[in-house]
């Protein structure tokens, strides 16, 4: 059984650019959530996808968007990058059976310069 995998592990972008982060969910999981973790802070919920539909969104602007594919993998897209977007982005997958257990990937470290 493979766990949650994220790519890339690190990347550096320039302010104003766009970025796409990718996540492969754990086998058998149909729900993917994305979190932003700023340095020294706890993770903040961005949004969740359940069976390819958005299922809840946190307090993030529309330039944060996502997709979930038929194989339940997911993308997080951020447009018009700002310096404050620099953070560790975590993907978590869940079985989606009403049990709220989330399994996290290793994260993508995004640095905006």
Partner 1 sequence: AQSVTQPDIHITVSEGASLELRCNYSYGATPYLFWYVQSPGQGLQLLLKYFSGDTLVQGIKGFEAEFKRSQSSFNLRKPSVHWSDAAEYFCAVAHGSSNTGKLIFGQGTTLQVKP
Which segment (14-22, 64-72, 74-82, 103-111) binds partner 1 by CB under 8 A? 103-111
Would you give the DSSP letter of residue 83?
G
Q: Which is nearer to partner 1, 18 or 96 (CB)?
A: 96
DSSP-derived pairing of the beta strands 108-112 and 87-94: antiparallel
For partner 1, the binding residue among 19, 43, 72, 112 (CB under 8 A) is: 43
Q: What is the DSSP letter of 36?
A: E
Stretch near partner 1 under the rule CB under 8 A, chosen from 11-19, 38-46, 62-70, 72-80: 38-46
Residue 3's nearest CA partner among 19, 20, 25 is 25
- For residue 54, state whether it binds partner 1 (rule: CB under 8 A): no
User: Nearest 5 degrees, angle CA 84-CA 94-CA 101?
Assistant: 90
Cα 49 from Cα 34, distance rounded (Å): 9
Q: How far is the CB of 28 from partner 1 (least distance, A)?
A: 14
Q: Which residues bind partner 1 (CB under 8 A)?
A: 4, 31, 33, 35, 40-45, 48, 50, 55-56, 88, 90, 92-94, 96, 98-107, 109
């Amino acid at each position: 059984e493979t766990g949650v995998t994220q790519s890339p592990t690190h990347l550096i972008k320039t302010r104003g650019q766009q970025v796409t982060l990718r996540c492969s969910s754990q086998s058998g999981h149909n729900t993917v959530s994305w979190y932003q973790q700023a340095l020294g802070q706890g993770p903040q919920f961005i949004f969740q996808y359940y069976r390819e539909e958005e299922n809840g969104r946190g307090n993030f602007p529309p330039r944060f968007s996502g997709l979930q594919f038929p194989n339940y993998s997911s993308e997080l897209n951020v447009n018009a990058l700002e310096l404050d977007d620099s953070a560790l982005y975590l993907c978590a997958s869940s079985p989606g059976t009403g049990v709220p257990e989330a399994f996290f990937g290793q994260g993508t470290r995004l640095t905006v310069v």
